[in-house]
A and B are shown apart, each in its own frame.
Chain A
């Protein structure tokens, strides 16, 4: 092999190395996006759970909303109306439920967004746990009222899991 041939091979190899570098840059970018999404999710869960766990804050919120609603004549949003009328919850309890379910959903939806990055075992574990969680009547109730506001990808995924669950149990 001549020096000319070695040089040519070197040039081709360096072009391939460049392609690999581009792929790596793409990964670094998606890692940054993921970190941002994770931070948002953590913060949202923390805010929702702190509120849900604090009876006093929920009571103040319910009291203020009820009085504002009476003053303005606005109807209760559909979920809260349904929770108070169909489940017999107080408005305070309905807020607690909404915050707790939102925290739970935020975590599930985030994991669904990054499912391809889970190992097979992690994914199977997630699906088993999620299937139990999403077939709970309370989650179904919350989900059906809020679905139009939620991440459509995650909603499709949950619908798929629910369909599998009902076909398995049928």
Chain B
């Protein structure tokens, strides 16, 4: 092979490389945008989850929240009403559970939003956890009662998941 032939092959490879590079660049820009969006969303979810959990674990915060809702004459969130009616827990106790489940659901919704980023094994475990939680009576009651207030993309994903075989309590 002479230098002229090597040059021609190199040039051919170079042209293909430029073409593919542009494609990759476009892909990379898309990934970078998604990464920024995901990162911002992650920070938001972490912060709100922490706030919700603070309400869930602090009896005084749960009491203040409940007194404020009742004081303003606002209806209790449906999950709280149902819980108080069916189980006889106090409104403060129901508020604590509502906040704990809100924190959990926010975290689930975030993972569902970026489900494509999970490996197949991570996804399987995540979906197994969802099936386990959402078929258990308490979380199912939360889901059924709070559904209109929840992230609708996540709601549809979970509903679809629950229609699949194997959705039985762990």
User: Can you list 9 contacts pairing A with B, beta carbon distance less than 8 Å?
Assistant: A8-B3, A15-B13, A21-B21, A40-B110, A47-B49, A60-B89, A61-B100, A151-B125, A152-B121
In the complex, the answer to whether A25 meets B7 with C-beta atoms within 8 Å is no
In the complex, the answer to whether A36 meets B49 with C-beta atoms within 8 Å is no
Q: Please indicate the chain B residues that have their CB under 8 angstroms from the CB of A57 in the complex.
A: 56-57, 96-97, 100
Q: Please indicate the chain A residues that have their CB under 8 angstroms from the CB of B56 in the complex.
A: 50-51, 54, 57
* Interface set, chain A 1-60, CB cutoff 8 A to B: 2, 4-5, 7-12, 14-15, 18, 21-22, 25, 28-29, 32-33, 35-37, 39-40, 42-44, 46-47, 50-51, 54, 56-57, 60
Identity of the chain B residue whose Cβ is nearest the Cβ of A7 in the assembled complex: B7
Q: Please indicate the chain B residues that have their CB under 8 angstroms from the CB of A36 in the complex.
A: 38, 42, 114, 117-118
In the complex, the answer to whether A43 meets B46 with C-beta atoms within 8 Å is yes
In the complex, the answer to whether B124 meets A65 with C-beta atoms within 8 Å is no
Chain B: interface residue count, which band?
A: 35 or more
CB of B99, distance to nearest CB on chain A (Å): 9
In the complex, the answer to whether A32 meets B35 with C-beta atoms within 8 Å is yes
In the complex, the answer to whether B137 meets A68 with C-beta atoms within 8 Å is yes
User: With A68-B137, A74-B137 in contact, is A150–B13 under 8 Å at CB?
Assistant: no
Contact residue among B6, B57, B89, B118 (Cβ-Cβ distance under 8 Å from A64): B89
In the bound complex, how far is the Cα of B120 from the Cα of A153, in angstroms? 10
- Interface residues of chain A, those whose CB is within 8 Å of chain B, are 2, 4-5, 7-12, 14-15, 18, 21-22, 25, 28-29, 32-33, 35-37, 39-40, 42-44, 46-47, 50-51, 54, 56-57, 60-61, 63-65, 67-69, 71-72, 74, 77-79, 109, 113, 145-146, 148-154
In the complex, the answer to whether B83 meets A54 with C-beta atoms within 8 Å is no
Q: Please indicate the chain B residues that have their CB under 8 angstroms from the CB of A149 in the complex.
A: 125, 128-129, 131-132, 170
